[in-house]
Every structure is written in structure tokens, then in C-alpha cells.
Amino acid sequence: MTNFEQDKEIQELFDSFLIETEELLDSISSDLMVLESNAEDIELLNRLFRSFHTIKGTSSFMGVDSMASITHQAEDVLNKLRRSELKVNLNIIDVLLEVHDWLKLLLDRVKARNFEPVDYSKTLEALAKIDKRGGEPDDEPQKAKEDEQTNDSPKTQESALEAVLSDPDLVKKPGDFTQAEIDLIDDAFLEVNRQLYLDVIIGTNYVKDNISEATEKIALHKKDEESEKDADEKASKAISKSKTATSPMQALESVKAKEQKTGSETIRVDINRVEALMNLSGELVLGRNRISQISESIALEGKEKELTRELLEATAQIDFVTSEIQTAVMRMRMVPVAKLYQKAPRMIRDLSKEFNKKINLVVKGEETEIDRGIIDELNNPLVHLLRNSCDHGIESTEERLSKGKPADGTVTLDAEQEGNAIVLRITDDGKGLDTEKILDKAIQRELITQEQAAQMSKREIFQLIFQPGFSTSAVVTNVSGRGVGMDVVKTNIQNLKGIIDIESEEGKFTTFIIKLPLTLAIIQGLLVRVGTNAFAVPLSSVIEVVAFDESKIYSINHKEVIRLREDILPLVRMNKFLNLKEFVKKNNQYIVVVGIGLMRVGLIVEELLGQQEIVIKSLGDYLGTVKGLAGSTILGDGKVVMIIDVPELVELCFSNSDLINFVS
Amino acid sequence: MRFLVVDDSPTMRRIVINALKTFGINDIVEAEDGQDALAKLNSSKFEFVITDWNMPVMTGLELTKAIRSTDSIKHLPILMVTTRGLKEDIVEALKAKVNNYVVKPFTPQVLKEKIDAILKAIQGS
């Protein structure tokens, strides 16, 4: 193997270790949370034991001794728990959670290629204390098991094997083996081998079978079928045997496991490959758009009718298949929201402790699937929102009781798919948002004026808490808060092309609603013309399109508005906003009404060009971020079109930015 | 030679497989627990099994016992690769009649020595 190949394999191995350990840590964390209420669940204890066990094995291989040694201690404790030598209690779970946290920290450091050890001696001490309270390692059940097996073993044992098996000192003596003992054990294994293959010469000829197999391969086809049948028989035999060999419980479990396996088999694929496939399918969409456009114009020309019809048919087929491929690839990137929500139980537990409140967690719709890239970016916002609910939402036990509410607060996490969007809801049954207080604070912090405050709707007031500089708690706390406010949450969500909204009723509840696109890469766009240029408006934020008349425009507070049914709609002249020329014709213009949450803005455009699936491409480094533009895309005819950033535009509009036109 | 590598940890399987490949062994099939291994052993032919001990569904020890009690495959060489390095563990593995035993972490060299030792024992008989 070349050096390069070796390096690559090591890198792959390293990556695999990181991914696997992270998954195991996640499962340890959620298992530990469940363990609190399911202390007797032996299957749970076994799984926890195996998780630690695997981390111990792989980390020692990767040379991360700091991980291996603490895992080793934790594994000992779990071993005692599952052998019922120890009883699960809160202290044990706390310490094991500590171990989990250390491992997570170490793993993060390993990720950054930092192999320095950390000082977890306190946790080790705590583990050792737990360990001591447990029984001796060589306990009764173990012995009984060994005795049982001695009876099974054949009587034809010869010296070395006999010596190992019958020498209690060799087994019970602590410490490493001496060379003599190692030799003895090696001899013992040799004995086993010899016994195993003793009957090779006489009976069922395993080794010979293998040698002659190669020569027999030629005459195979027919035989294959037979051996398959044979294999089936063997399989059922083996299974029935293994069933009788183990306890009924185990047999049941193995059947269960088998069922699960057939349910959904998975393979691990490098995320970069999926990413590449995603990009390619995006390009495919572009190509498809182009073909459809070309075939449509050919059809319009009306020549070669038969050929045109065939072309249209073929195009329709490609159209269909492309959409299917696109969905399939998208689904490859989808993971259940459970992956995001699984960290919540631990957080709620820690937060209840920190704030000394009793808080229950209810999780719904965890099976809802969402783009993996989005999940990763949602972690921090979720942490922040949960923290917010527990800190500011849920009241103290006394306060709750005095209000006639149940003593324990409840935080609910919910997820569901609504059309092309995923909606996440974080609800607490706490005191709700106090609009007066919010307004006072916003005025005090000079985010709004008294006059503005008087005109604001309930929803607009709620949105104030997302303003930079609104958040009060600048104190850095240990669970999540790094002194960042809700504005960061909103920015995170907006970066994901999502929106965040609040519903709340004073004294009853507060719900944060996060609405996200199913995927980041491909969206439905409404193409509009402004001057000579076409622009795309993401269809997800388009509420409606109306034709209008210049004469219906009023101005309020130096801003152009129009009355749309009973609402006043602020307007943005897209040509001014984008620094383009005046529209040529003054009549027959359109207003594209776009909205974020309940905020609505009308964009004045010259013409509607149609609806199209567009693949978002970034503007590239040389353009950087341009206010009001989310990116670009390529149309079927090869033209590059800019995509309007609706959330940003709406924000600019409501923040009285100079970028939005004023009536002079 | 066709090898079956049984371990519930993909990383561990990879470590073992990488080592095997450096010895020039490339015909390798993976299984993620004892039961998966048994199914694979029953559907095609293998010359060597390298198995972990602690696995969900069916442990390496149970797998060994199952192999040893199935006539058609009972002579299959089995190398146990495990973190269980206690003497009593080794004795238990001996009783179950694994051909040899490697304690993790191991160097590829040790793995090769153990495999060679087992193959030699088979040819010697």
C-alpha cells in the first residue's frame, strides 16, 4: 500500500471514529435520561454498557487514552448495574452524565486534533466511590455460569488446557500474566485447535472442503441452487439451535432485532458524496428547465409538428424523472427531528436544577424529517429557546400553585411538516409574554419611540424581543447562554431561510414557532420583471399578487402605502430599491405581496414572468452579501437572475431604512 | 481466504479490515452482530471468523458456541478480538473453543501472529 493510500485510510478511520463516537454519546445521553425512570430496564443497561464499551475499544485504538481510561471506569459501574450489584440512583446517573460530558469535550478536542488530556480526576473519584459501594467483581452468578460450562466441556482435555482451566490461581490472581502463563495459555489454545481439527481426517472434512472448493467451482450453477436450499435448511436449523441455546428472553429479542433489521436497512455514506449528488441534481434541474424552455419555443414555431410532439413528450418525461431524482436525493439528506430533540431531555433536566423549578418535557413529532444541514444549524437556537422557556417562561412552583396551575411546568417540543415547510414549536405553559413590559423595555432601550409603540400590533410587539440589544440577561450561564440574546436566534433562523414567530397569552403560554424550508438548495420562485431585469421572489414568502393603480397610493409617515382590503400595506418600489430606471409604463403594474410572520410588504414590479423551480447559488465572494438579495440562479434560457431576500427586505422596510424609498 | 469480521462498531471493523488488507487478505465480509454473522455463514462459505465479544443481539461468545455446535461450520477458525482482557474472560473463551484470543488494542503484527498460529494449527492436523 502506498503512503498516500495509508494516509487516506487513516483519515477515513479517524472520521469513522468521530462519527460513531458522537452517535454513541448521543445515545448514551438519551439512554441515561430514560434510565432515571426505568432503573430496572436490563436492555437499557446493556445498551449503555455496550456504548461505553465500544468507545473504550475504539478510543484506545485511536490512541486517545484520556477517553479510554474514563470510559473504562464508567463501563465498570455499568457492568455492576447490569449485574444488579449496584442499584441505579440519581447520583450514579449524575456521575455518568458527567463522564458523558467529559467524553464529549474530549471528542471535540480530538476533532480539533488536540490530544492533550483534561483534568477529570473529580469525576474519576466519584466513579471510584460508586464502584466501591458495589460488590466484588467475582460474584456468585459468574461462578455458577462457569461451573455449568465446565460440565459441558469434553473430557478429552490434555495437559495445557486442563492446566489453565483447573488452575484457580491463574485466573484469580490480579495483574498481568507472566511469560510462563502466557505460554501456558497459548498452549491451551493450541490444544483447543488440535481438538477441533482432530476429526478432520476422519469426519466432516472442513479443510479439505475448502481446498477442493476452488476446483469444483467450474461445475457450479446447478449445485449452487442445491446449496442454497441446503443453506436455507442450515439457517433454520442454526436459528432453532441458537434459540434453544439461549434463554427464551434472548430468543425473543433476537427475533425482534431481526424484524427491525428488515424494517429499515441503512448504509453509511460520506456526507460529501450526498452533497455532490445534491449539487449535480441541482444542475440537472437547471438543464431540465432549459430543455423545457427550448422545446416550448420550438413548439411555438409550429414546424415539424410530429417531431415537436415527440420532443415535448421526451421533455415531459425528463421533467418527471428529474423531479423524482431531486426528491430522492433530498430525502437522502433528511434526518428525523429526533436527532435535534434528543438533546432536550438532558437540557431540561439541567435547567430545572439550575432554576430550581420542576419542568416536564413533552416531545411530539420527532419522526418528522428535515434536511441534515438545517438540523445542525438549529442546535444553538433550540438550546437558547429552551433556556428562555425555562428561565423566563415557566414560573416558580409557588407562583404556579398560587395561580392555580399544576406545580410542574411543561415544555413541549413539536414538529410537523406543513406543505413545503417544516414547523417546529417550542411551547411553555408559563406566564406568557407581557406586552406592556416589552414595550417599556424597548422604549427604555431606545429601540422604538413612544409614538411607534402606540401603533404596534401584538405580533409586532412580540417581534421586538428579537431585536439586537433587547435581551436583558447579559449574564453568562453554564447551560447554554453565552450572553447572546434572542436576536442571534432570529439571525440563525433567517440564515436558514426560515422565519420565527411567537404566539403567547399572558398567564397561559408562550409558543415559539420556527418555520423552515424543507431544503436549502432548491426553491419555487416567482419570476418578476423590473425594468429590463428579471428577479426571482421565493414563492414561499409570496402571499398574493394584485394589480393596482398609481392613483390608489397614499403616503403615511413619508412612506408609500396602499389600502388592500382592510389593511394598510407598505410598498417598496423595486426599481428604486434596486437602483434601476423608472418603469416605462405607469399602468398595469403589479404588487407582489410578501410576508414574514404577520408583517406584509408590497413589492411593485412591472411584469409577472411566471413560476419556476430555482436552484439557489450564492453570489460568490467577489459580490459578498448584497442587502436585499439572497443569491442568484440560472434560468432555462441561460440568463442569470437575482433572488430577492424577502426577510431582509421586510426588515429594511419596517426599520425605516434609507434603502427603502421615501416620498420626497 | 474469505474472512468474516464481526463487530458492532463500524470503526472496529474498519481497524480489523485495514489490518487484514495489509496482510494481503482482501476477501472480507462484515457482520454487525452474532446473529448477522450466523446468517452470513449460513448463506455463503467462509474460511475464517474474527469476532468481537460484546455485541447486541448475539455476543461473540454465543456466536462461537453456535458455530461449534453446527456441524457444517463447526471447524471454522474463530479469532476473538475483544477488550475483555481479564483472565476469567480468556478462560471462558477457551471453553467456548475459540481458536485464539486477541485483546484490544492490538497491533496488526499481533493480529497476524494469531491468525498465522491458527492457520498453522489447522494445517498441522
Domain CATH number, residue A290: 1.10.287
Q: Give me the pLDDT at residue A226, please.
A: 43
User: Same structural domain for residues A579 and A541?
Assistant: yes
Helix (H) or strand (E) holding B80: strand B78-82
What sign has the CA pseudo-torsion A460, A462, A467, A470?
positive
Contacts of A254 in chain B (CB under 8 A): 35, 57-58
Q: What percent of chain A has pLDDT over 90?
A: 6
Q: Residue A478 — very low, low, confident or very high, per pLDDT cuts 50/70/90?
A: very low
By the CB < 8 Å criterion, does A20 face chain B? yes
Q: Which residue has the cell 436549502?
A: A520
Looking at the complex, does the CB of residue B75 fall below 8 Å from at least one CB of chain A?
yes
B65 touches A: beta carbon within 8 Å: yes
| Residue A598 forms part of a structural domain | yes
Which amino acid makes up residue A179? Q
pLDDT at A244 exceeding the cut of 70: no
Among B70, B87, B104, beta carbon nearest to A61: B104
Which of A459, A488, A517 terminates a domain? The answer is A517
Predicted confidence (pLDDT) per residue in A123-150, tens digit:
888 888 877 654 333 333 443 333 333 4
Asked whether the beta carbons of residue B66 and residue A149 sit closer than 8 angstroms, the reply is no
Q: Is residue A145 part of a domain?
A: no
Dist. CA A459–CA A73, nearest whole Å: 53
Whether residue A637 contacts residue A293, with contact meaning beta carbons closer than 8 Å, is answered with yes
pLDDT of A247 over the 60 cut: no
Query: Does A2 contact B at CB distance below 8 Å?
Result: no
Residues A440 and A351 grouped into a single domain: yes
Structural domains of chain B, with CATH:
3-112 (3.40.50.2300)
CA–CA dist A662, B16 (Å, integer): 70
Mean per-residue pLDDT for A541-553? 84
CA distance B101 to A292: 65
Q: Using CB atoms, pick whichever of A188, A210, A261 lies closest to residue B94.
A: A188
- Residue A29 inside a domain? The answer is yes
User: Does A245 have pLDDT greater than 60?
Assistant: no
Strand, coil or helix: A509: strand
CB A395 within 8 A of CB A408: no
**3-state DSSP percent of chain B in helix, strand and coil, to 5:** 50, 15, 35
Out of A99-103, A204-208, B16-20, B24-28, least confident range = A204-208
Output the CA angle B89-B93-B95, nearest 5 degrees. 115
Q: How far is CA B31 from the centre of its chain?
A: 11
Pairing of strands A589-596, A542-548: antiparallel
Identify whether A89 is part of a domain.
Answer: yes
pLDDT at A543 over 80: yes
Tens digit of each residue's pLDDT (9 = 90 or more) over A573-587:
888 888 777 666 566
**Same structural domain, A529 and A623:** yes
Are both A533 and A453 inside the same structural domain? no
Beta-bridge mates of residue A556: A559
| Residues A452 and A542 reside in one and the same domain | no
Residues A545 and A591 both lie in one domain: yes
Size of interface A-B (CB pairs under 8 A): 169
Asked if A257's CB is within 8 angstroms of B57's CB, the reply is yes
Of A116, A34, A49, which is closest to residue A81 (Cα–Cα)? A49
**Could you tell me what percent of chain A has a pLDDT over 70?**
74
Cell 434459540 locates to A243
What are A245's three cell numbers? 441455546
Range of the domain at A510: 336-517
| Mutation for testing the A interface, residue in B20, B87, B123 having most A CBs under 10 Å | B87
Q: What is the pTM of this model?
A: 0.49
CATH number at residue A642: 2.40.50.180
Domain termination residue (choose one: A133, A160, A190): A133
Give the residue from A623, A630, A615, A456 showing the smallest Cα distance to A522: A615
Q: What is the mean pLDDT of residues B34-60?
A: 90
Task: Encode pLDDT of A24-82 as tens digits.
Answer: 998 898 888 888 888 888 888 888 988 998 888 888 877 788 888 888 888 888 888 88
How far apart (Å, rounded) are the C-alpha atoms in residues A115 and A119?
Answer: 13
In a domain, A634, yes or no: yes
For residue A436, is it within any domain? yes
Of B85, B116, B93, B75, nearest to A203 by C-alpha is: B75
CB proximity under 8 Å: A 264-283 to B: 268
**Interchain CB distance below 8 Å, A20 and B11:** yes
Closest by Cβ to B121, choosing from A173, A190, A253: A190
Contact A58 B11 (CB under 8 A): yes
Do A345 and A453 lie in a common domain?
yes
Q: Is A194 on the interface with B (CB under 8 A)?
A: yes
- The residues, any chain, with a CB within 8 Å of residue A457's CB and separated by 6 or more, are A598
Please say which residue of A312, A333, A354 terminates a domain: A333
Domain match, A594 and A477 both: no
Residue A409 lies in a domain: yes
- pLDDT, residue A188, reads 78
Rounded-to-integer distance, Cα A16 and Cα A251, Å: 31
A131 to A29, A79, A80, A103, A134: CA distances (angstroms)? 20, 10, 8, 19, 5
The strands making up A542-548's β-sheet, listed across from edge to edge, are A542-548, A589-596, A599-605, A567-573, A559-564, A553-556
Please state the φ and ψ torsions of residue A658, each to the nearest 5 degrees: -65, -20
* CB-based contact A342:A371 (threshold 8 Å): no
Residue with cell 429479542: A253
Q: C-alpha dihedral over A369, A371, A377, A380, to 10 degrees? A: 0
DSSP secondary structure string for all residues of A593-650: EEEETTEEEEEEESEEEEEEEEE-B---TTT---TTEEEEEE-TTS-EEEEE-HHHHH
What's the grid cell of residue A40? Answer: 430496572
Q: What is the pLDDT of residues B73-119, one digit of tens each?
A: 888 889 988 877 676 777 788 888 888 888 877 888 888 888 888 88
- The residue to which cell 423552515 is assigned: A516
* Integer Cα distance of A491 and A497 in angstroms: 10
Shared-domain flag, residues A328 and A380:
no
Please indicate whether residue A603 or residue A661 has the higher confidence score (pLDDT): A603
A508 and A554 share one domain: no
A159 band by pLDDT with thresholds 50, 70 and 90: low
For A575, other C-beta atoms within 10 Å of its C-beta total 18
User: Do residues A309 and A343 share a domain?
Assistant: no
Residue A588 belongs to a domain:
yes
* Residues of chain A neighbouring B58 (CB-CB closer than 8 A): 242, 246, 250, 254
Q: Are residues A450 and A409 in the same domain?
A: yes
Lowest-pLDDT range, A90-94, A385-389, A515-519? A515-519
**Mean pLDDT of chain A, nearest integer:** 75
A640: left (phi over 0), alpha (psi -120 to 50) or beta: beta
The per-residue pLDDT for range A161-171, each reduced to its tens digit, is 666 666 655 55
Instruction: Of A592, A56, A382, give the one whose Cα is nearest residue B52.
Output: A56
* Number of folded domains that form chain A: 4
Average pLDDT over residues A576-605: 78
Positions of A marked catalytic: 53, 75, 388
